Structure 1
Amino acid sequence: MPPVLSKLAVAAVLLLGGCAAPAGAGDKGMNVVTAFYPLQYLAQRIGGGDVNVTDLTKPGAEPHDLELSPRQVGRIVDARLVVYLDGFQPAVDQAVAQEAQGRAFDVGTAVTLLPAEEHEHEPGEEEHAEAGEGADPHVWLDPERYATIAGALAGQLAQKDPAHATVYEQRAAQIGTELKALDAEYQATLSTCERREIVTSHAAFHYLADRYGLTEVGITGISPEAEPSPQRLAHVAEEARATGTTTIFFETLVSPKVADTIAKEVGARTAVLDPLESAGDGEDYFTIMRANLAALTTALGCAA
């Protein structure tokens, strides 16, 4: 876990010019810092032209492993509001605790989080066990919970900027309407599937599975960097065969090597199921979620 700069160190960086310009300097609107893409997307949609949003995680980067530069800590120091998810990015948690007391919004406080689900360890696998304590952070993959977070974020922005409270609420309501329509698409399509099990490279889709009555079989647990044991690989392969799994899912930011191994073992194909921790050019939350639905439709034998 990378150390976060102390207040004294941050002050020194500011004096030396490393973070001399506040986030959004020269722009109108208040400065908002977000920790990773789904929070950035909401802040930009709800804030519109009334906020300047700086995201701490670069596009295409793995947010779990984020290390903060002195400039990024300076952004946190200068922000009117920092939007993050406690427990997801340790470096951000530390920076918020040291530099943003009273100016931070933990989105996990707006919804009920599901417990982290780790796979059951096979005999002799104890040395590979992952800690299963705490909550699953991937809450944005449930459109209903994501809409609740949007409404709560609008309230946070309104507290910091009462003059634009009404427009923040209106924008959040619009997102809520769009998310309700997305949820209806998922409900209608996934209710028609021949299969209900999804095998994923790591257990990032608990919320999506819980929302739509699916069963997720994660090759590894919450941590995408974890290496599955031979026993775990054998167990997942056996389960995939038993359930008639045709597709093993891997993620855009994680190597497909493990998914390929299982797929070859059981005669399945591989496909992307995006945990939406980042977005590429021309993509946003809704385009990625609909691409995920299309992938699930094919993999599970759903009526298109």
Structure 2
Amino acid sequence: MKAVIQNGYGAPGAVLSYGEAPTPTPGPDDVLVAVRAASLNAREWHLMRGDPYVARLTPGMSLRAPRGRVVGTDFAGTVVAVGTGVTDLKEGDDVYGEVDGAFAEYVRAPRRLVGVMPANLTHEQAAAVPLAGNTALECLRDEAKVVAGQRLLVNGASGGVGTFAVQIGRALGADVTGVCSTRNVDLVRSLGAGHVVDYAREDFVHSGRYDVVLDLVGNRSLKDLRRCVTDGGTLVLSGGGTSTGGSLVGPMGLFIRGSLAARFSRRHRILTPQPKPAREKFDALTALLEAGTVVPAIDRTYPLSAASDAIRYLEEEHARAKVVLTIGQSGTFRTPRVL
């Protein structure tokens, strides 16, 4: 099968190639999916660059290259085979999910990491959802426990996770303030933010105090972020940008400081969640998506063969919302032989 393969760490043109990789075979609790679309996350950039350096010590990476050679996480496509233990999906079902190796014609995914694709979405739209949607949902619903009437600030509101966080926050009944650049003010407002802070004109640290602050950028000090949180409120630290490389700890430094501060903070909660995909979350997201409460926002699309260009755009051009890879059209896939 065709796939985007990584060899080493570095710039996209130097370490990524479009070539052949073995077609995966599903295990008893897996599904094999013909991928129609996949989306980019900051995760792909960090894995490609091996940044921050300390992350190379984690189980999925090594000092010289990621352990998994096929790039990508988010996908949407059509089931072409199911394992013997999967009883609620069948060949021909459209699904979406989050698993390593998504930038390929086929992906093997455990059933627990796959959701039934919302009937009102295209494959491109569905592929934009998994990691970003799951992260926003867990941070706001499960960790911060946002309730109606609370004031919510989303720093990084025009990014992949941010565009979902604005909409999910509003669905939970919060009064949402989004922080973004000048060119994205209209986008963030259209997603349901009641207030938008253009960081080129105003420092959000001085824009007021909020019951919940969700920081998705990692560009401000912990002290600044805590100043925005009300007494008894919640600060959620999740994610970091792609604007710099070659760092030792990157956004992990803020998470470490936040985790330490959380042990001693009596004025408010400080959370550093590590969101994981789960079937229940996909069910919740599907309900929001089919109701039209949440709508994926897509910046632009690229063919799978141009994945290097897509990642270069992500890291150099301050992409907003989601960047999506398209992988063929219905009927163009050859059904693999599953042993």
Which structure is larger by alpha-carbon Rg, 1 or 2?
1
TM-score scaled by length of structure 2: 0.29
Q: Which has the higher contact order (CA 8 A, sep 6+)?
A: 2
- Structure richer in helix, relative to its length: 1
- Structure richer in strand, relative to its length: 2
